Structure 1
C-alpha cells in the first residue's frame, strides 16, 4: 500500500471510430505523463464518444477490445498504468466500461451503472447497465470510478464509499451546454459532501457531429476546495499529486484555469465544432454564400477562425434585388477576414426559370414561389462549386429562422453543417459584437474586427423582393426570440406566455409556425449544440402534429 500517488488526467479529443488513432493518442499522452503512477482517460476514450449504433456492431466492439489489449501490453514497460474507456462484450451484453491496465494486462474492469437516456443521450439503446460497482484496487489504493452519469445521482458514489473507496475518479463524455459548467461543479460538490471523499472529474474535449465537448476537467478535495481546473476546449495532460493523511487522500493544489464567459464559450463551441467536423470528414475547406448580412458574416468569421482564411471561400450571388450596400458589406467583410470572395450573378438563372415556368405560372402574381426559386438558385450554385472543387457547403441560417420556417428548403438550408443552428437571432447580434471586439483564444484567423459595423446595425433582410425586411414577415427579433425561448427551450404553453402579457394572436401564430416547420428541420444539416434544447438530438417532435396550446 502506498501513501503517495501521482495521477495524470488526459483531457483528450477522441475521434469516433478511429480506434487505432485514439489508442495512439492515449500512448502519446502516457509518454507525456512520465513520472505518473496512473494515467486516466475520458469515458469511451478508445472509441470516441458518443459511438451511437456502432456499438451494435460486434466487429466494432471486438476491434475496441483489440486496442484495449494493445494498450494493456504497453503497460508492461516503464511508465504509468492506464485507466481507459471502451465498450466491452461479456456474456451476451455490451457494457460501457473503464479498464484498469497495469503490468502488461487488464487488471480490472468497472461497468457504468446509470445509463442516460434523455436529451442527447440514448445509451440504453446500445449498452447494458452494469451492477452497482465496487472500487478498483490500484497499488493498494481503492479507487472509486463512477462513469459520467454515475455521479449525477447519489447511489453509485454512495455504494463506492460504502465498499471502501478512498477517492473518486469520474471519467466523462459530457457535451457542452451553456451554464453546464456550474451544474457539473455543483453535482460534484454534492457527491463530495455525501461521501466525504475527494473527486476528480475528467471530461473529453473536441467536436463530434452536433456535439462539442468543452473539457474543463477539475479536481475537488474532500474539503470541497478546487485543487485543479483544466482549460476549456484544449487537449491537455495534467499531473496531480496525491497524499494520504489522517483525514484521507488529499490532492496538492495546482493550476486553476478560468472558464470562458458566456459569449466566448458560444464562439469557441462553434469554432471547435466546425473545425473538427470539417477536418474529421476530410474536407479541404468550406464554401458559403456571403450576402452582406449578419448571419453569413458571422458564419464566415467562425470558419476563418476555425480553419484559416485559405480554407474559406465566400461567394456573393446578387440578384436585381441586392442592394449596393450589401455588395459593399460583403466585400469589406471578406477583406477583413482575408478570405477569397467571388461573385456569381443569378439573374440569368432567374430569367431562365421564369421562361421555363411561364406556361404554368401564367396569370398568377409573383409571390413566395419566385422568391424561393432565387434562394434555390443560390443553393444550387453553391452545391455546384462544392461538388466541383470539394469544399463543404456551410449553411448560414440561425435558430430563430429555423424555428418558424423562415428558410428555404433546398435553398439557403442546403449544406453540410451550420454553426448558427442553435443560436437565436438576438444571440447572433451579441456574438457578432463580441467577435468584433475580441480575438478568440483558439482562433487562427485575424485579430480585430471581422465585419463592418453596418452589418450588425442594419435591419435584417433576405433581399428576395424590393425593400424587403425580415420584420415584414416576422415579429421583431427581441419579441420573436422571447416567444421561441419559452416554447422551445422551456417547453411552455402558449397560454403561459400570454399570461405574462404577450399578445395572444402573435404567440399562437408563432406556435403554429414552429410546429408546421418540423418537416424542414428534419432535412436541415447538423449544427453545433449550444443550449439545452437544440433541434435534432434534444427536441424530437412529430412532423404530423395537430396539438396546439393556444
Structure 2
C-alpha cells in the first residue's frame, strides 16, 4: 500500500467540484466534454463534472481503437448511464490507418514503437478538441499527478484540455476518492470493474501502465517523498523499495519536466502541485 497520508475526501471533493464550476463558468462555458476510456481517471473526472455542473452539461466521447478491450466501451457506457450523461462513440481505427499509411514511406524500415502509440493519443486529442470547438464545450484533461510527474502522458494527446481537475491527485488517491464517491452515493456509480481492472492506456495489445511504470503504490510513495515532503533525492529511503527503483522514478521526473510546462491548469488540493494552479 502507498504510504501517502489519507486526505479528507469530502473536503477534496468540494474543492474540486467548486473549482471546476468556477473555472468553467468564469471562462464563459456552460458544458464540458471529456474522453471516456473505461479507466478510473476519466470515470472520476466525469463524476466530478456531473456533480459540479449537472448531468445535462457533461458529454463523454468514447474513441475505441483496434486494441481497445470490450470492457473499455461497456464500462464507459455503464458509468455514463449511472451518471446520466450524454455520450458519443467515434472509432479511431480509420484515422489511425490513414496516419500509418501516410507515414509509411518516411518510416520504412523502422520498427513500431511509442510513435504509433502516441499517434493514437493525438488522434483522440484532435477528436476531443473538435467536439469542444463545434459545441463550445470546455475540454477536461483527465490525467493524474502520478502520470504528470513521471511523464506518462502524451503532449497534444491525452494532455489536451483547458482544465486538468485531478492533476493534483496521485493515482492511488484517485481510487480512494472514487471509493469515497461511491460510498457517498450508496451505490456503484463508478462500476466495480473500473476499480478491478489493471490500469491501461490500451495503446497496444495487452498493455498495462505497469509495463512502463512501477506499481502505483510504489510510484506514489516515491513521488510523495520527493514532492510533498520535499526530500532531496539522495535522502529518499523507503522500506521495501530498492534504491534503483527510487533512482528510476527520479529520472522519469527529471526527464519529463518539459511536459509539465505545457500541462493544462489544475485544481490544487495539496501543498505542492505541478503545473499551473487555478486559484479558487
The aligned residue for residue 258 of structure 2 is 519
> Shift in Å at residue 537 of structure 1?
5.7
* Preserved contact between residue 263 and residue 276 of structure 2 (Cα < 8 Å): no
> Shift in Å at residue 504 of structure 1?
1.4
- Structure 2 unaligned residues grouped into runs of 5+: none
Match of 1:369 among 100, 112, 115: 115
The answer on 1:353 being equivalent to 2:99 is yes
The answer on 1:392 being equivalent to 2:138 is yes
Match of 2:175 among 429, 434, 439: 429
> Shift in Å at residue 493 of structure 1?
2.4
For 1:295, what is the secondary structure of its paired residue? Answer: helix
For 2:30, what is the secondary structure of its paired residue? Answer: coil
The aligned residue for residue 71 of structure 2 is 325
Match of 1:270 among 11, 16, 21: 16
Mapped partners of 2:35, 2:273: distance in 1: 24
The answer on 1:502 being equivalent to 2:208 is no
The answer on 1:467 being equivalent to 2:206 is yes
1:236-276 alpha-carbon deviations (Å, 9 max, x no partner): xxxxxxxxxxxxxxxxxxxxxxxxx7011111111011011
* Preserved contact between residue 264 and residue 275 of structure 2 (Cα < 8 Å): no
- Structure 1 unaligned residues grouped into runs of 5+: 1-178, 180-260, 440-446, 539-550
For 1:397, what is the secondary structure of its paired residue? Answer: coil
Mapped partners of 1:296, 1:536: distance in 2: 19
> Shift in Å at residue 451 of structure 1?
1.3
Bigger CA radius of gyration: 1
> Shift in Å at residue 499 of structure 1?
6.7
For 2:263, what is the secondary structure of its paired residue? Answer: coil
The answer on 1:486 being equivalent to 2:232 is no
Match of 1:312 among 21, 36, 58: 58
Mapped partners of 1:383, 1:437: distance in 2: 33
For 2:237, what is the secondary structure of its paired residue? Answer: helix
1:302-325 alpha-carbon deviations (Å, 9 max, x no partner): 000000010000000000100001
TM-score (norm 2): 0.94
The aligned residue for residue 192 of structure 2 is 453
Match of 2:273 among 534, 541, 544: 534
Higher helix share: 2
> Shift in Å at residue 456 of structure 1?
1.2
1:488-522 alpha-carbon deviations (Å, 9 max, x no partner): 11121233223755311111111111111111111
The aligned residue for residue 156 of structure 1 is none
**Cα distance change of structure 1 residues 268 and 499 upon mapping to structure 2, 3 Å threshold:** closer
1:444-476 alpha-carbon deviations (Å, 9 max, x no partner): xxx743210110121100000000011111100
Mapped partners of 2:111, 2:41: distance in 1: 30
The answer on 1:281 being equivalent to 2:20 is no
Higher strand share: 1
Mapped partners of 1:360, 1:453: distance in 2: 44
> Shift in Å at residue 536 of structure 1?
3.0
For 2:104, what is the secondary structure of its paired residue? Answer: helix
* Preserved contact between residue 139 and residue 163 of structure 2 (Cα < 8 Å): yes
For 2:160, what is the secondary structure of its paired residue? Answer: coil
The answer on 1:378 being equivalent to 2:124 is yes
**Cα distance change of structure 1 residues 485 and 529 upon mapping to structure 2, 3 Å threshold:** same
Match of 2:153 among 382, 386, 407: 407
Mapped partners of 1:473, 1:330: distance in 2: 24
> Shift in Å at residue 330 of structure 1?
0.4
**Cα distance change of structure 1 residues 432 and 333 upon mapping to structure 2, 3 Å threshold:** same
Q: How many residues align?
A: 272
